[in-house]
Structure 1
């Protein structure tokens, strides 16, 4: 699988040996906002970004929603690592602050779309966050095998003014799973709005 997958590119989930991709992780890493004080000091403002996963059936109805308030899907196929309320306080440590793991073998058969989205809980503009990166990879939370989509949302001009984005959507065609690397900001303010945006625009 290509490591340098471009935004908007669609790929199937076949490995080089012809087998189907089984486990996928979505990791998000970000830092706190630093502000200079009157006397040369620097204050740090925590940033609470929330990675979420939405399951839809073939009619685009929501089947399940996995987020910081619901860490496990009903069918056991998806798990969320938990809510990170601050971001990296001492600079980029290179580790994901939140990780969502998907096991395709356990996914409810009625599910045909699996969307990953990101929202700023407190409404921080993506442009104000010093670093914020997303990677979608094969493996587990403790092991990265192949990265097939990455986004650096803090340095992309089109993310300025936005507090939500659609990272990507896995979709089923002819009983095979494929991936659409969307990587687009939205004007939504809340997770519930982003769920609807995905329904209307990205499925």
Structure 2
């Protein structure tokens, strides 16, 4: 049964049968903005960018994965590729961008893996009709078991923001857990978001 994540909620990566979840997908799904005129309406494409950053126990940045770099240096993290439009014709139930993580292959120094979203064209989150994140076991094209869901649309806290920190996977006593953050940041670029996470969310 998938957990509907709340801000500040921490969960362990343990499946319903008690096994540890070592291969996860973080998928983001979002819609296009509808512009209404006097006699008709039109859809405006939305380019959200899902990214992640890896840090060591001293919060030093080790690696980033985004539309610019689709694989981590250790090959443990992979990005499905840049989606420039979102769901133009309404929610198709599929993720627009997916980042996969194989925790067993991660750099041994990795202690934090943070996920965040930037609105590439500066489109305000409050104008996007739907946007959600889900953490699941499987592949970008096959969902085996949804582990957690997180709805990030229609939240007044995101009004005026174009960047948000989704959450952080962190290693504690050799086990990986997840901290749901769901916080908007004033950043406009991936590079500055990486620093904000380093300073405030690890």
Aligned to 2:172: 173
In structure 2, distance between residues paired with 1:44 and 1:146: 32
1:123 positional shift: 0.5
Give 3-state SS (helix, strand or coil) of 1:189's partner.
coil
Q: TM-score, normalised by structure 2?
A: 0.94
Q: TM-score, normalised by structure 1?
A: 0.94
Structure 2: unaligned runs, 5 residues or longer: none
Residue in structure 2 matched with residue 198 of structure 1 by the alignment: 197
Paired residues, number:
202
2:54 equivalent to 1:55: yes
Q: Is the 8 A contact 1:22 1:105 kept in 2?
A: yes
Instruction: Show CA shifts across 1:124-179 (max 9, x none).
Output: 00001111111122222223233333222221111111111111101011111111
Partner of 1:138: 137
1:185 and 2:180 matched = no
Q: Distance in 2 between matches of 1:14 and 1:34?
A: 39
Alignment gaps of 5+ in structure 1: none
- Secondary structure class of the residue paired with 1:197: helix
CA contact (8 A) 2:116 2:163 kept: yes
Contact 1:125 1:161 in 2 (8 A): yes
Shift of 1:43: 2.3
Partner in structure 1 of residue 66 of structure 2: 67
Q: CA RMSD in A?
A: 1.5
